[in-house]
Structure 1
Amino acid sequence: MKRFQYIFKSTLLVFLLSLTHSIKAAQASPDIYGDSMKISLLTCSPGHEVYSLYGHTAIRFQDLRNHQDLIINYGIFSFKQKNFILRFIFGLTDYEMGIIPYQLFYEEYRSEGRWVKEQILNLSSEDKQNIAIAIDKNYIPENRIYRYNYFYDNCTTRARDILINNINGFVDYHYNQQLITTYRDEVHQWNTQHPWARWGNDLLLGLQADKLISNEERQFIPDSLSKDFQHATVSYAHGKIKKLVSNSLYIIPPVQTKDIDNGFLSNLSPNIVMICIIVIIITSFLLQKKCKLYYLLPHYLLWTVTGFCGIILTAMIFSQHPTVSFNLQIFILNPLNLLLLFPKFQNNRNFQYVMITCYALGCVGSFLQTYADGIQLLAFVLLITNLFSLKFSWKNGTNY
């Protein structure tokens, strides 16, 4: 999602410490939450960094009478956190709520060439007061840090919840029917133009990412939440019904940008790489009678890479992210592949049976789970080549 630049940290420290006091002072005068107060949902376009490919959501809080214009952001994190990568893998990443002046937020997104859409919410004075109190409470030091989860608890769902949960009415999104979609499908809509990011996501996401999700569960994506807000209405106890969004506009309009061609590497898709690997495997298998080295060299490299990938997938079993803990690709990208680097296991038929079983389960699993590009084909090739190797070992009394 969105990470605010560190350069602001020191200059804003004194200002940020005073924000909570300002909001609290406003709570003593509920009447100001009329025409002088605006609360908006901000939706930002995707960026170029991996963590920003899916856009960002923030809340704009304006008090025109007291000349306040603030951005409430639930997407602050730092790569400088101790063991950040390991914590992220195991679902132990902490994100933080932050508040900065609107102008700094505006300048940052304008400099990055990213559009920002504002949806001004059609709220009562009481709703605005409730949201202000909730934001104030959320911003105290012991509450502002939360355990981040990309699908279930991120900067978009946090912004949605603090708004929706403090409206004294029922928010109806007017869904006509249940969409047939999954977490993986929703992610694919935003990383299609970034094949290696998509490949990495598909490699780490497991079977749970392919289960059907509800319309509201789609709201972890900023654009989905924005569209739902646009069509939503609020029904109050006294019978009044009104639109949730009173006005929608671009505070930073979209601009047409040219795709950057990074040359050969930008066109080297995961599919092309996987096909090349599979061609090498098949060729080395066919040439093994001429020279055993032709077979062993590419396979040693393959066993090493897939084995270490398997270690990563095995570690993901212990992650707190539910969508990565059960990943059927582990049967192909298997840590047991590392044992094949040792002749003792290469020449052990029982171990060959184990690996063939794993590859077979991997092939079957591809019908239950969406694999990263090329992994399904890799599983099939490994299964076939190992079956032939086993056949030759029985015929010749050796593995090869």
Structure 2
Amino acid sequence: MKKLFLFLLMAFAAKAQLSSKAEVVLVTVAPGKELHSAFGHTILWVNDPTNGIDRAYSYGTFDFKTENFYLKFLMGTLPYTISVHSMQDEFNYNAQYEKRGMIAQKLELDSLQKNAIFQSLEKNLLPENREYAYKFFYDNCSTRIRDMIEKNAPGKYQWNQNPSLEGKSYRDWMNKYLEPNSWVTLGMNLALGIPSNVKANASQACYLPDNLAAATNLAPKLAANPVSLFDGEIAPETGFDFTGPYVILGLLTLLIGFLSFKQAFPYAADVALFGLIGILAWFVFFLGTATNHEVMAWNPASLMLFPLNFPLVIWFARNPMKWKNYLQVISVLCFVGLVWSGMQFLPLVLAGLPVFIRLVSLSFIKK
């Protein structure tokens, strides 16, 4: 009965026409505290008081109860959907519950464009259309709405005519939102490959909700001035993280360098070092080669950390003279990966230096 009611409701909405009083509003939600909300959110709100239509559409919705959720998330096969709520429900959750700021921009569209957007959104809600393959940089809650507007009002919003959104790569834009958490910043950058370094044009930079709002706001006479629906809590400024990866890895590098210079680095420590780094290396290699996350492909961190060092460490650390050729070749590959990774994101060098120091030390052992 519930499914039948939902079907009839959607069928009615699909046939409904908006009145002349209808508005299509771009709503931008500020970043949240959780990682999945750290980049903000975009909502497209269709409001028609004459016909009693109040529908706030969101893309990028997922369900934690999905079977094998974590495996599908890891593999990049987790189904994402479009969802719809009333704006009051969205306000209650994002503003009242999560204390995230919300800004609204009414889009200046004619009646045909408004109706086309409304019908397209309702069509997307149909069971056969609602699921899609989410891509963080290319197909998310913000890009879907950008493309929806462009499809139904072609050429009206010149997303690319915004110089302030030019010149940064996808990775650069991402890092802007990860600054408060240095461990997450290092981890996500370690997982990303060469595609994330592509310079995004102004339209592509709209994969971030704040950038889509900025591009829309600069479109002359095409959007009303932004109106704050709720002023979120101002995040406290974060100082230098003395328990973060830069301090921990820096101290570890100094310790390994000192013990290696003194030739006092024990076999068990080599196994532990290359074992832990090796597990991480295999994970990075897996993300880049065996999943649907194309932005993690061609990752120079795989050269820097080199997966095969584990479990081979069990043998080459015990008798490095017999493995001298291997160690010298891998040292060169590690150095290439180290420089390449550092060019992508400088702090990544700290993740590879301990391994590089040990490889070079072992390859030059005389006895």
TM-score, structure 1 normalization: 0.82
Quick check: 1:127–1:168 contact (8 Å CA) kept in 2?
Answer: no
1:196 aligns with 2:162: no
- The residue that corresponds to 2:226 in the other structure is 248
1:268 aligns with 2:243: yes
Which sits farther off after the overlay, 68-77 or 140-149?
68-77
Quick check: 1:117–1:251 contact (8 Å CA) kept in 2?
Answer: yes
Which sits farther off after the overlay, 14-23 or 115-124?
14-23
Corresponding residue pairs, total: 360
Quick check: 2:304–2:334 contact (8 Å CA) kept in 1?
Answer: yes
Q: 1:21 aligns with which of 1, 11, 35?
A: 11
1:310 aligns with 2:281: yes
Q: Relative to 1, partners in 2 of residues 1:22 and 1:267: Cα closer, same or farther, differing over 3 Å?
A: farther
Question: 1:381 Cα deviation (Å)?
Answer: 4.9
**Secondary structure of the residue that 1:386 maps to in structure 2?**
helix
Please give the alpha-carbon distance, in whole angstroms, between the structure 1 residues aligned to 2:236 and 2:344.
35
Question: 1:91 Cα deviation (Å)?
Answer: 2.4
**Secondary structure of the residue that 1:160 maps to in structure 2?**
helix
**Secondary structure of the residue that 1:43 maps to in structure 2?**
strand
Q: C-alpha offsets along residues 321-373 of structure 1, whole Å, 9 cap, x if unaligned?
A: 222111101122221121244236642223222321322222332354325x2
Question: 1:259 Cα deviation (Å)?
Answer: 6.3
- The residue that corresponds to 1:299 in the other structure is 270
Q: Relative to 1, partners in 2 of residues 1:227 and 1:344: Cα closer, same or farther, differing over 3 Å?
A: closer
Question: 1:267 Cα deviation (Å)?
Answer: 4.2
Quick check: 1:57–1:73 contact (8 Å CA) kept in 2?
Answer: yes
**Secondary structure of the residue that 1:165 maps to in structure 2?**
helix
1:90 aligns with 2:63: no
Q: 1:389 aligns with which of 349, 362, 367?
A: 362
Quick check: 2:327–2:362 contact (8 Å CA) kept in 1?
Answer: no
Please give the alpha-carbon distance, in whole angstroms, between the structure 2 residues aligned to 1:163 and 1:192.
31
- The RMSD of aligned alpha carbons is 2.6
Q: Which runs of 5+ in 1 are unaligned?
A: 1-11, 234-242
Please give the alpha-carbon distance, in whole angstroms, between the structure 1 residues aligned to 2:91 and 2:3.
19
**Secondary structure of the residue that 1:40 maps to in structure 2?**
strand
1:120 aligns with 2:98: no
**Secondary structure of the residue that 1:335 maps to in structure 2?**
coil
Please give the alpha-carbon distance, in whole angstroms, between the structure 2 residues aligned to 1:15 and 1:258.
47
Quick check: 1:278–1:378 contact (8 Å CA) kept in 2?
Answer: no
1:285 aligns with 2:280: no
Q: Relative to 1, partners in 2 of residues 1:70 and 1:340: Cα closer, same or farther, differing over 3 Å?
A: same
- The residue that corresponds to 1:7 in the other structure is none
Counterpart residue identity of residue 388, structure 1:
S
TM-score, structure 2 normalization: 0.89
**Secondary structure of the residue that 1:104 maps to in structure 2?**
helix
1:218 aligns with 2:205: yes
Q: C-alpha offsets along residues 38-85 of structure 1, whole Å, 9 cap, x if unaligned?
A: 111110001010011110001111110122212101121023323333
Question: 1:144 Cα deviation (Å)?
Answer: 0.6
Q: Relative to 1, partners in 2 of residues 1:14 and 1:70: Cα closer, same or farther, differing over 3 Å?
A: farther
Q: 1:38 aligns with which of 3, 23, 26?
A: 23
Counterpart residue identity of residue 69, structure 1:
D
Quick check: 1:328–1:369 contact (8 Å CA) kept in 2?
Answer: no
